[in-house]
Amino acid sequence: MANGEDAIIRKKQLRSDSSTVNKRIAAVTAQKKRRQSGKRRMRQGMCFSLPAQEDPFNDKNMNLESKKTKKVLPLNEDNNLTGNSNTASQNKRKAAKDHKSNGQNQGQKKSRVEKESTLDDEGCPSKFLISCLKTVQDTMRDDEAFERGKPLFFDSWGFEYWRCYTRGTHVLETSGCATTKQIAWIGSTAVDTITNKELDGESFTGPYLLFIVPSQERAAQVRTVYKSLKLFGIHTVSLHSGASIDHQIHGLKACEPEFIVCTPDRLLELVSLDAVDISGVCSLIVDGLECSSGDAYADSVKSIQKHISVDLHTVVFCSGLTNAYSLAVSSLLSSPVCILSRDEICET
């Protein structure tokens, strides 16, 4: 009798253990599904197709989605038992047709890739760069600089700047201080370059872009534009005499920014304290280099350039150039230089 009770107790214990294991398996499975769902959402968020000028409503991509065909599953024994010979014959013919069609699709895909590569060689901004520009414009949609119904990526100055940047040609803008649109194009182009280099395995231990401005107020304006790019992992800090040195040193160590917007004197002070390493800066933007600033501003920029050891791309925004002051500008820019303005574009 005791043996029978013991057997019953063991069976109940086994059921209890089995139930616990099943619950644990169910919990783990649910957790995996949540993770996979999250990864799918991330991938879906990363995969996008932007509207183009010839396809403003993105109809082409929507049509491609609707035309996708379902894969034909191979017949198994159950299918053969439940289906008839005609169905099997039809499936075989369809499989052969799909195989032939797949070969044609592969050829078309290869042709499309070659065509896209040719377009890239001719000089077309990437979809990622366009996405950066759209993000800035959407974030700052209330800014008067952006015209409603006019996408930022159709800006002619921005496209010409991008062409100069990709060719490694330095830029002199003779229309004065940088506008919001110009700031957006410069930053978005830098983000595109950083992303491509990181995908190729390159890493950055210091700031990539250095935007020099004449005042604290101007630094705040530029940083406002670049805050939109934080969505793409780009951190921007503003360095000027309006904040304490200790606060700025702590901020530089805490976030390791990709972009720095600064007044030249404060930056030189921080460099002398080893608070920031600018030796690897690849893009230098000098804003507001006007005649009224005197030689001190240009001299400070020259001192900053001496701390940069790589072959960097330089952009200078200036207006009111005279023969005497053009010498100061030329000392900041090496050849070749592309002169851009809102009215005309020429190259020297």
Q: Among 293, 294, 237, 245, which residue's Cα sits nearest to residue 273?
A: 245
Quote the pTM value.
0.65
The domains of the chain, with CATH numbers, are 127-347 (3.40.50.300)
Q: Under a CB-based contact definition with an 8 Å cutoff, are residues 314 and 165 in contact?
A: no
Q: Among 231, 229, 301, which residue's Cα sits nearest to residue 263?
A: 301
Residue range 55-70: mean pLDDT, rounded: 45
Split at pLDDT 50, 70, 90, the class of 141 is: confident
Q: Kindly give, in sequence order, each residue whose CB lies less than 8 Å from that of residue 277, ignoring residues fewer than 6 positions away.
A: 205, 206
Split at pLDDT 50, 70, 90, the class of 98 is: low
Task: Give per-residue pLDDT as tens, 161-194.
Answer: 999 999 999 999 988 899 999 999 999 999 999 9
Split at pLDDT 50, 70, 90, the class of 261 is: very high
Q: For the chain, give the percent of residues with pLDDT over 70.
A: 60
Task: Give per-residue pLDDT as tens, 262-272.
Answer: 999 999 999 99
3-state helix, strand, coil in the chain (%, to 5): 60, 10, 30
Residue range 117-136: mean pLDDT, rounded: 77
Task: Give per-residue pLDDT as tens, 274-323.
Answer: 999 999 999 999 998 875 556 788 899 999 999 999 999 999 998 876 66
Q: Under a CB-based contact definition with an 8 Å cutoff, are residues 189 and 160 in contact?
A: no
